[in-house]
Amino acid sequence: MKDFDVDLFVIGAGSGGVRAARIAAGHGAKVMVAEEFRVGGTCVIRGCVPKKLYVYASRFADAFEDAAGFGWQLPQMPRFGWRALVDAKEREISRLSGLYRLNLEHAGVAIVATRAVLEDRHSVRLADGRVVSARHILVATGARPVLEPAIPGRELAITSNEVFDLEKFPERMVIVGGGYIAVEFASVFARLGTKVTQVMRAENVLRGFDDDMREGVHDALAKAGVKLLFATLPTRIEKADGGLRVGLSNGEEIACEEVMIATGRKPATAGLGLEKAGVELDPLGAVKVDAYSKTNVDSIYAVGDVTNRVNLTPVAIREGHALADTLFGGKPTAVVHTDIPTAVFATPELGTVGLTEHAARAIFAIVDIYTASFRPLKATLSGRAEKTIMKLVVDGETDRVLGVHILGEAAAEMAQLLAIAVKMGARKADFDATMALHPTAAEELVTLGTRAARYEREVLEAGPGAAVAEP
Ligand SMILES: Cc1cc2nc3c(=O)[nH]c(=O)nc-3n(C[C@H](O)[C@H](O)[C@H](O)COP(=O)(O)OP(=O)(O)OC[C@H]3O[C@@H](n4cnc5c(N)ncnc54)[C@H](O)[C@@H]3O)c2cc1C
State the pLDDT at residue 87: 98
Identify any residues that bridge with 125 across adjacent strands, giving them in sequence order: 117, 131
State the pLDDT at residue 2: 72
Identify any residues that bridge with 301 across adjacent strands, giving them in sequence order: 138, 294
Find out whether 211 and 237 touch, Cβ atoms under 8 Å: no
State the pLDDT at residue 76: 87
| Residue among 187, 184, 190 at smallest CA distance from 169 | 190
Find out whether 416 and 471 touch, Cβ atoms under 8 Å: no
Mutation probe of ligand 1 site: the residue of 35, 42, 115, 301 with most atoms within 8 A of C-beta: 42
Domain ranges of the chain: 6-144+266-328, 154-263, 342-462
* DSSP for residue 287: B
Find out whether 364 and 395 touch, Cβ atoms under 8 Å: yes
The reply to whether 154-263 shares the fold of 6-144+266-328 is: yes
State the pLDDT at residue 109: 98
* DSSP for residue 155: G
State the pLDDT at residue 210: 98
Hey, which bits of 67-194 come out as E strands?
110-112, 116-120, 123-126, 131-139, 143-145, 172-176
CA 164 to ligand 1 center in whole angstroms = 15
Identify any residues that bridge with 220 across adjacent strands, giving them in sequence order: none
Find out whether 173 and 321 touch, Cβ atoms under 8 Å: no
CA 160 to ligand 1 center in whole angstroms = 12
State the pLDDT at residue 82: 98
Element (H, E) at 261: strand 258-261
- Domain 342-462 -> CATH class: alpha beta
Could you tell me the end-to-end alpha-carbon distance of the chain, in angstroms, rounded to an integer? 78
CA distances (Å), origin 157, targets 86, 161, 198, 236, 258 = 20, 11, 14, 10, 7
Q: Which fold does the domain 154-263 belong to in CATH?
A: FAD/NAD(P)-binding domain (3.50.50)
Mutation probe of ligand 1 site: the residue of 43, 44, 340 with most atoms within 8 A of C-beta: 43
Ligand 1 pocket, residues with Cβ under 6 angstroms: 11-17, 34-37, 41-43, 47-48, 51, 115-117, 140-142, 160, 181, 268, 272, 304-306, 311-314, 316
| Residue among 351, 356, 350, 355 at smallest CA distance from 339 | 355
Architecture of the CATH domain 6-144+266-328: 3-Layer(bba) Sandwich (3.50)
CA 203 to ligand 1 center in whole angstroms = 28
**Ligand 1 closest atom vs CA 306:** 26
Find out whether 353 and 418 touch, Cβ atoms under 8 Å: yes
State the pLDDT at residue 464: 39
What residue ranges of the chain have pLDDT lower than 70? 1, 450-471
| Residue among 262, 12, 29, 297 at smallest CA distance from 160 | 262
| Residue among 296, 351, 287 at smallest CA distance from 319 | 287
CA 391 to ligand 1 center in whole angstroms = 31
